[in-house]
Chains A and B, each alone.
Chain A
Amino acid sequence: MEKIRYERPIIQKMNTGLMNKFGTRTEYEPVTNIESISVKSLINDYGTPLFVLSEKQIRRNYQNANRIFKTRYPKVQFAWSYKTNYMNAVCSIFHQEGSWAEVVSGFEYEKALQNGVPGNKIIFNGPDKTDDQLVKAAKNNSLIHIDHFDELYSLIRLSEENSLKPRVAIRVNMDTGIYPKWDRFGFNFENGQAWNAITRIINSENLDLVGLHCHIGTFMLSPSAYAIASTKLCELTWSIKEKYNKIIQYIDLGGGFPSANTLKGAYLPGSDTVPSIDQFADAITDVILGYGFKQEDLPLLILESGRVLIDDAGYLLGSVLATKRLSDGRRATILNFGVNTLFTAFWYDHKISPAQAFGSHTEEMVMYGPLCMNIDIVRESITFPLLEKGDNVVVHKVGAYNMTQWMQFITLRPNIVLIDNENNTHIIRKAETLDNLQTNEQLPEHLKKQTLK
């Protein structure tokens, strides 16, 4: 006689009261394939934890966003935000699609050059640029976005010393009606600091002011904030033309468009609440087109979108290490990845699916990572089928920030695999080894002959 498929016995107390008007969550539909590749075969070939990226989805996201903006505004340029995911394969996909590079450190700048991006298509942002990096960027004709007066004066000095005339923009921070106000980066619009910086640049013979930049926040849920930002940058552009008869070539609205992830504490899932790219595009382009610029003076619109273009192209496959019951009776599941690998678990309630079929019963549980740390929580509360040791799960929308902010803590970082357009799989970053990590360690001579007493 064939045996019945096993699932662990459970008993659940039935509660009376009002039903949740949104019904129960159905996050336990199994995900058995990513693109056309079975999750099981990925796990067999590459192990878990495993990051998987879909090239098709990355390209789809880029082409969709590009079409949305270009059908509304004549001059649009995307610049791939390296910090969101600077795997060379990922950057190369965006560059193939036509994206410039947006970098925020010397390390990222070098990566962009190595990825074949011409210097004049690299936007150099951020508050930390060394003198050497500034000179190199200036010589490469990159777009240097100045963050503070110290940097501005350094750049003037370096340009004079090296007889350079770098193309620059200033980063402008402003009140767009959102909280928190990001005023730590760039020059403030409302108190006149931005205008002072502009005046200083224009009066300098060694800097060429070509653009204005802002980046008003991250995971922005309000398109109207972008309309306000666009208005303020247009106001500066207009004033520069009026006062100095200088045409600003581009307005860079930065990034910050949200993905469909669900922020912790949100009442409804992100997929139901996050505005579409169309709404952001409408807010921005309506302002610029309606501001009154002559057709030939319309600035190039640069966007540094990251998260929205890659989050849903990334998956994290993991395995169940153990299940246990906590002192208050709640079920706890321990996974083989934690906040070290899935850094974004700190701010998202990630959607997680089982990777195999289950029975109809589900239970409320906490999902923990494997770290010996109390903060290592992947999901504080999730309704999920009855998991057993060895079962697999799929975490969705992990393409942004995890592969750059992940931590090497007590364990090694896993493989990253790309599924290409023809459904071939490629390792784009090999799992780390102990040797990789110890390459830069040096043991002082007197410690080499230690014996444990």
Chain B
Amino acid sequence: MTLKKNIATSEEGFVFNPGTGDSFSTNTIGGDIIALLKDNKSLKEISEIICKKYDVDKDQFEKDLDDFESQLKDYAIID
């Protein structure tokens, strides 16, 4: 899961895709994940960081991350 190079993000959770002109909003954890993707973190690393920061177990988060990834793909935010 790699964030497209041209995707612009803000700390408030806004995402802009200049390729399509679409804007998006995320919740805090969604913004955290996109920031980690921007830092080229792997899914495994993302999972470890998020599970340390948030009150969630690994299985639950991986299921949700999988769903989030499919949304990012649908919106052409990741390659």
In the bound complex, CA of A12 to CA of B72 (Å)? 10
Would A11 and B26 be within 8 Å (CB), given that A3-B55, A4-B55 are in contact? Answer: yes
**Is A434 on the interface with B (CB-CB < 8 A)?**
no
**C-beta contact mask, A1-41 vs B, less than 8 Å → 1, else 0?**
00111111111111000000000000000000000000000
B75-A13 in contact (CB<8A): yes
Would A11 and B70 be within 8 Å (CB), given that A3-B54, A4-B53, A6-B55 are in contact? Answer: no
Q: What's the least CB distance linking A105 to chain B, in Å?
A: 49
Q: What's the least CB distance linking B24 to chain A, in Å?
A: 5
A–B complex contacts, Cβ < 8 Å, 23 sampled: A3-B52, A4-B54, A6-B55, A7-B27, A7-B29, A8-B64, A9-B26, A9-B29, A9-B33, A9-B65, A10-B26, A10-B30, A10-B71, A11-B15, A11-B24, A11-B72, A11-B77, A13-B75, A14-B22, A14-B25, A325-B67, A359-B28, A386-B27
Q: What's the least CB distance linking B3 to chain A, in Å?
A: 12
B67 contact set on A, CB distance < 8 A: 8, 325
In the bound complex, CA of A13 to CA of B22 (Å)? 7
In the bound complex, CA of A13 to CA of B53 (Å)? 26
Interface hits, B1-35 → A, CB 8 Å: 15, 22-30, 32-34
Would A9 and B27 be within 8 Å (CB), given that A3-B53, A329-B71 are in contact? Answer: yes
B70-A325 in contact (CB<8A): yes
Interface hits, A176-228 → B, CB 8 Å: none
In the bound complex, CA of A5 to CA of B29 (Å)? 10
B55-A5 in contact (CB<8A): yes
Q: What's the least CB distance linking A71 to chain B, in Å?
A: 52
A13-B24 in contact (CB<8A): yes
Would A11 and B25 be within 8 Å (CB), given that A325-B67, A325-B70, A329-B74 are in contact? Answer: yes
A3 contact set on B, CB distance < 8 A: 52-55
In the bound complex, CA of A388 to CA of B23 (Å)? 26
* Contact partner, B71, options A5, A11, A361, A386, Cβ 8 Å: A11
Which residue from chain A places its CB closest to the CB of B64 in the assembled complex? A8
In the bound complex, CA of A14 to CA of B61 (Å)? 25
Interface hits, B39-79 → A, CB 8 Å: 52-56, 60-61, 64-65, 67-68, 70-72, 74-75, 77
| The 7 nearest A-B residue pairs measured at CB | A9-B30, A6-B56, A3-B55, A8-B64, A6-B54, A361-B27, A9-B68
In the bound complex, CA of A386 to CA of B67 (Å)? 13
Which residue from chain A places its CB closest to the CB of B52 in the assembled complex? A3
In the bound complex, CA of A386 to CA of B52 (Å)? 21
